[in-house]
Amino acid sequence: MGFGAWALGGGGWAFGWGPQHDAQSIASIRHALELGVNWIDTAAVYGLGHSEEVVRQALEGIPSNDRPYIFTKCGLVWDERWPDAPPRQVLAPASIRRECEASLHPVQVDG
């Protein structure tokens, strides 16, 4: 069973679900883990990186052996100057590698 973190990205970007409260989002993830959820779906494009930051905060203090799997996606690249513009679809190998590596930092996991 998984936890989808798209809405945690909040508003202020092209596909945002509106304002979210990070503390409530973190509590929701932790509650889901207590109920047996063993993976979290996020992506760099969710909130233009904010969802991954919220996931990282939710996992703080959880021993690595008890952490869920973290799944991310790639292929949607945004322009920081225009957060309301729809992301571009980019599936070039160099972009995929860059996006995957960039996602490791916010959630603080190894590849």
- Does residue 46 carry a catalytic annotation? yes
Q: Are 71 and 41 in contact (CB under 8 A)?
A: yes
| Beta carbons within 10 angstroms of residue 64's beta carbon | 8
Catalytic residue (choose from 46, 48, 55, 78): 46
Q: Strand pairing partners for 11?
A: none
Query: Tokens representing 13?
Result: 């970007």
* Residue whose C-alpha is closest to residue 54's, from 102, 13, 96, 6: 6
Catalytically active residues are 46
